């Protein structure tokens, strides 16, 4: 069963493939290590959608949706979220706690972006000057936290034509502004693509309108090509399709050209191609786009590519069970062309619902698919964030499970 409402920034290319071919074995020998079990207290909890990002010293930074020192500020969630740091030895410290103050940002969902001065930029699903708007939690913000841990709210969404409830990271455009998406808001409450500068001047680049077969509700962010065009996916939309909630459709892949014109590159059918793509896209040098979808004919999702001529090709179909199912996160790719990702279901079956606790997988350029780790629940479950490749190892998070059932940070190495 699909978890319809479940997070492109990537990252670091490894100098060599994590999954090098072995002469006498098709399965790589890997080591899985839990670096931190979140407690839901001061250290945060529920690190669901944000990838870890590295600095030059080998530290990794990520966010949690809940937790922090102000436990009652965002009740009933228990804290408004954190930015945390994992040092090269695997030790976690909290870099910043979202306070839940009146009109302040709360619940950072998307991956952080960091500039050369060490300032973090990101978006929060809730909070801001919209007060009780957007279902009583606030319509979200764009924020900055400098290297000294001081937060500055750059923009407060109103929930109207400017957008609402952003869940994705910021991508830097050729004009130096940050570009991203909102899940809601816009002319049809179907989400927008927006641009913003550091002074807080926001402009809507595109407002999704499913009434004209456009996309509907984004969750992931954007990826840019060298010419300044952006690419992304919507969770639904694309026109009436009985396979996918009728009117809203099965999701789209779209391009935002320099100047703001939108072009739909592909509409999912809910059949062998999958449906409801949650994560973002990655792009290679020749302009081919790669991503993952949920559901479809097999009910477990696909890994796909869309070439520059808009030919859609399925690279792998998930089988559920031991093979994993329903990937939610953006893929990563190493310098040998191997893709790595996670599935939110499959693997061990001890997690709530009986659909499995999730997996970490690899898919080589020749099409060899390998499950690197199957979660049991005790080591985490529901891995929904993109992986990070650093010094030949994979780092990631699981949103739930672990010793405190508030999620984990993990490492996979050979």
Residue 16 lies in a domain: no
| 349 has pLDDT over 90 | no
Residue predicted with more confidence, 23 or 263: 263
| 8 has pLDDT over 70 | no
| 14 has pLDDT over 60 | no
| pLDDT attached to residue 246 | 86
| pLDDT attached to residue 48 | 92
Q: Based on the structure, what is the number of domains in the chain?
A: 1
3-state secondary structure the chain: CCCCCCCCCCCCCCCCCCCCCECCECCCCCEEEEEEECCCCCCCECCCCCCCEECCCCCEEEEECECCCCCCCCCCCCCCCEEEEECCCCCEEEEEECCCCCCCEEEECCCCEECCCCCEEEEEEEECCCCCHHHHCCCCEEEEECCCCCEEEEEECCCCCCCECCCCCCEECCCCCEEEECCECCCCCCCEEEEECCCCCEEEEEECCHHHCCEECCCCCCEECCCCCEEEEECEECCCECCCCECCCCCEEEEECCCCCEEEEEECCCCCCCECCCCCCEECCCCCEEEEEEECCCCECEEEEECCCCCEEEEEECCCHHHCECCCCCCEECCCCCEEEEECECCCCCCHHHCCCCEEEEECCCCCEEEEEECCECCEECCCCCCEEECCEEEEEECECCCCCCCEEEEEEC
Percent of the chain residues topping a pLDDT of 90 = 84
- Domain at 262, CATH number: 2.130.10
| pLDDT attached to residue 271 | 97
| pLDDT attached to residue 23 | 31
Name the pLDDT band for 101 (thresholds 50, 70, 90): confident
Range of the domain at 96: 55-326
Q: pTM for the complete prediction?
A: 0.92
| pLDDT attached to residue 351 | 84
| pLDDT attached to residue 233 | 98
| 171 has pLDDT over 90 | yes
| pLDDT attached to residue 13 | 31
Residue 48 lies in a domain: no
Q: What pLDDT digit, counting tens, does each position of 207-249 carry?
A: 999 999 999 999 999 999 999 999 999 999 999 999 998 888 9
| pLDDT attached to residue 77 | 62
| pLDDT attached to residue 102 | 84
Residue predicted with more confidence, 11 or 73: 73
Neighbours of 149 (CB within 10 A): 12
Residue 229 lies in a domain: yes
| pLDDT attached to residue 19 | 43
List the structure tokens of 153.
Answer: 């709210």
| pLDDT attached to residue 116 | 92
Residue 288 lies in a domain: yes
When the pLDDT of each residue in the chain is averaged and rounded to a whole number, the result is 91
Name the pLDDT band for 27 (thresholds 50, 70, 90): low
Residue predicted with more confidence, 229 or 21: 229
| 270 has pLDDT over 50 | yes
Average pLDDT over residues 48-72: 92
Residue 292 lies in a domain: yes
Name the pLDDT band for 131 (thresholds 50, 70, 90): confident
Average pLDDT over residues 143-159: 97
Residue 246 lies in a domain: yes
Residue 13 lies in a domain: no
| pLDDT attached to residue 11 | 34
Residue 122 lies in a domain: yes
Name the pLDDT band for 12 (thresholds 50, 70, 90): very low
| pLDDT attached to residue 69 | 82
């Amino acid at each position: 069963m699909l978890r319809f409402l479940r997070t492109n920034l990537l990252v670091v290319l490894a100098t060599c493939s994590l999954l090098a071919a072995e002469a006498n074995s098709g399965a790589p020998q890997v080591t899985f290590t839990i670096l931190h079990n979140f407690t839901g207290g001061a250290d945060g909890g529920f690190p669901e959608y944000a990838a870890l990002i590295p600095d030059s010293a080998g530290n990794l930074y990520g966010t949690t949706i809940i937790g922090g020192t102000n436990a009652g500020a965002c009740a009933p969630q228990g804290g408004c979220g954190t930015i945390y740091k994992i040092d090269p030895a695997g030790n976690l410290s909290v870099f910043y706690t979202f306070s839940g103050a009146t009109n302040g940002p709360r619940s950072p969902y998307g991956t952080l972006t960091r500039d050369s001065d060490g300032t973090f930029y990101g978006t929060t699903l809730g909070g801001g000057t919209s007060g009780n708007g957007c279902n009583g939690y606030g319509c979200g913000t764009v924020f900055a936290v400098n290297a000294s841990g001081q937060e500055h709210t750059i923009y407060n969404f109103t929930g109207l034509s400017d957008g609402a409830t952003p869940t994705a990271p910021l991508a830097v455009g050729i004009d130096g502004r940050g570009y991203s998406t909102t899940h809601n808001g816009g002319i049809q409450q179907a989400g927008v693509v927006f641009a913003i500068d550091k002074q807080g001047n926001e402009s809507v680049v595109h407002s999704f309108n499913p009434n004209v077969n456009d996309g509907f509700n984004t969750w992931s962010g954007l990826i840019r090509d060298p010419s300044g065009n952006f690419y992304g996916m919507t969770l639904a939309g694309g026109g009436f399709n009985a396979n996918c909630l009728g009117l809203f459709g099965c999701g789209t892949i779209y391009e935002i050209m320099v100047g703001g014109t939108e072009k739909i590159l592909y509409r999912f059918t809910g059949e062998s191609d999958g449906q409801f793509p949650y994560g973002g896209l990655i792009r290679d040098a020749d302009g081919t786009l790669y991503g993952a979808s949920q559901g479809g004919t097999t009910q477990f999702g696909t890994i796909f590519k869309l070439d520059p001529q808009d030919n859609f090709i399925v690279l792998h179909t998930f089988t559920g069970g031991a093979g994993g199912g329903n990937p939610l996160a953006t893929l990563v790719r190493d310098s040998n062309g191997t893709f790595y990702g996670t599935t939110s279901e499959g693997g061990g079956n001890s997690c709530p619902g009986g659909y499995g606790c999730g997996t970490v997988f690899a898919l080589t350029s020749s099409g060899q698919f390998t499950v690197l780790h199957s979660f049991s629940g005790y080591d985490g479950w529901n891995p929904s964030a993109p992986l990070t490749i650093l010094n030949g190892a994979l780092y990631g998070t699981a949103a739930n499970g672990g010793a405190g059932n508030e999620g984990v940070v993990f490492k996979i190495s050979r």
